[in-house]
Amino acid sequence: MLLEGRVAFLTGAGSGIGRAGALALAGNGAAVIVSDRDPALAEAVATEIAAAGGRAEALTLDVTDDDALDGAIRAASGRHGRLDILHSHAGIQIPGRLDEVSVADMDASWRLNVRSHFIAARAAMAVMKPLGRGSIIVTASNSGVQYDREMIAYCTTKHAVIAMVRQIAVDYARFGVRCNALCPGFVDTAFNAGFEAQMGGRRALESYVAGNIPIGRWGTPEEIAEGIVYLASDRSSFMTGHALVLDGAESL
């Protein structure tokens, strides 16, 4: 298996793309630490992995708690004696234009969509750099390579996190640690609530997907998970600092 013997730490892994990524990493042989703010969701994913013969542990984690996030990653690497993969996935989507988004909303977007990834990557790097290996994957969005209408907080933070990923990549490539951004387009999960509200309801969002995405449909969590496995594995060993866009050509 591609990831046999490796250890992966995931945030926001209780549902949607995070859950699919956890299942795919475990299915390829990795031992997976499934963290989520909701303990029931994290436990359900870990149980599902175990039932399929994989290795997983569930962890309740609020990534806006810097000390808890840093400590959880370092403790996991200590328990397992290594950390090979970090998928920092947790995020937030707040819709609105400049005059509609409050300062508090922008701060919340920054804290989840940029700062939490910084804290997670910093903790993982402290383990990976001395070992001379590792793959850090940060979920951004195809909103980080284009500009969505009336989504100032989301687009600003997603562009910022791609810049951060690229900076990490060039600074640490010589130490054997790779860092890449995962940039999904529209995947049919609950995370689309912000876009749904901004577009005027579910029917309007479905119409947009059908009419504006060249491939003509939603992506699936499992399709995005294939990208996560690729970035985590040696199949992408010469790739770092890349924004891997999986969006059915919407951003083109």
Cβ proximity of 134 and 83 under 8 Å: yes
Handedness of CA 138, 141, 142, 148 (dihedral sign): negative
> For the chain, what is the HEC assignment?
CCCCCCEEEECCCCCHHHHHHHHHHHHCCCEEEEEECCHHHHHHHHHHHHHCCCEEEEEECCCCCHHHHHHHHHHHHHHHCCCCEEEECCCCCCCECCCCCCHHHHHHHHHHHHHHHHHHHHHHHHHHHHHCCEEEEEECCHHHCCCCCCEHHHHHHHHHHHHHHHHHHHHHHHHCEEEEEEEECCECCHHHHHHHHHHCCHHHHHHHHHHHCCCCCCECHHHHHHHHHHHHCHHHCCCCCCEEEECCCCCC
Residues linked to residue 182 through DSSP beta bridges, in sequence order: 139, 244
What pLDDT, on a 0 to 100 scale, did the predictor assign at position 207?
Answer: 82
What pLDDT, on a 0 to 100 scale, did the predictor assign at position 196?
Answer: 73
Average pLDDT over residues 175-190: 94
In the predicted model, is pLDDT for residue 200 greater than 80?
Answer: no
The residue range of the domain holding 97 is 7-189+221-239
Residues 145-160: b if buried by 16+ CB within 10 A, e if exposed: bbebebbbbbbbbbbb
35 vs 205, higher pLDDT: 35
Query: Which residues form the catalytic set?
Result: 154
Instruction: Tell me whether residue 162 is in a domain.
Output: yes
**Which pLDDT band holds residue 29 (cuts at 50, 70, 90)?**
very high
Question: What radius of gyration, in Å, describes the C-alpha atoms of the chain?
Answer: 17
- Residue written as token pair 């209780």: 14
**Which pLDDT band holds residue 201 (cuts at 50, 70, 90)?**
confident
Residues 110-136: b if buried by 16+ CB within 10 A, e if exposed: bbbbbbbbebbbebbbebbeeeebbbb
Average pLDDT, the chain: 95
What pLDDT, on a 0 to 100 scale, did the predictor assign at position 103?
Answer: 98
Residues linked to residue 60 through DSSP beta bridges, in sequence order: 36
Average pLDDT over residues 105-129: 98
Instruction: Tell me whether residue 91 is in a domain.
Output: yes
Instruction: Tell me whether residue 15 is in a domain.
Output: yes
**Which pLDDT band holds residue 11 (cuts at 50, 70, 90)?**
very high
Instruction: Tell me whether residue 252 is in a domain.
Output: no
Average pLDDT over residues 134-140: 98
Average pLDDT over residues 38-45: 98
The domain total for the chain is 1
Instruction: Tell me whether residue 209 is in a domain.
Output: no
Instruction: Tell me whether residue 97 is in a domain.
Output: yes
Name the pTM for this structure. Answer: 0.95
In the predicted model, is pLDDT for residue 209 greater than 80?
Answer: yes
**Which pLDDT band holds residue 188 (cuts at 50, 70, 90)?**
confident
In the predicted model, is pLDDT for residue 51 greater than 90?
Answer: yes
Instruction: Tell me whether residue 14 is in a domain.
Output: yes
What pLDDT, on a 0 to 100 scale, did the predictor assign at position 198?
Answer: 74
Packed helices 116-131 and 152-172: angle between N→C axes, nearest 10 degrees: 10
Residue 225 is part of a domain; what is its CATH number? 3.40.50.720
What pLDDT, on a 0 to 100 scale, did the predictor assign at position 50?
Answer: 98
Poorest-pLDDT segment among 18-27, 164-173, 181-190: 181-190
Instruction: Tell me whether residue 245 is in a domain.
Output: no
Poorest-pLDDT segment among 1-15, 75-89, 119-133, 184-198: 184-198
In the predicted model, is pLDDT for residue 223 greater than 90?
Answer: yes
The residues, ordered by sequence, that sit 6+ positions from 86 with a Cβ below 8 Å of its Cβ are: 8, 9, 10, 73, 120, 121, 124, 134, 135, 136, 137
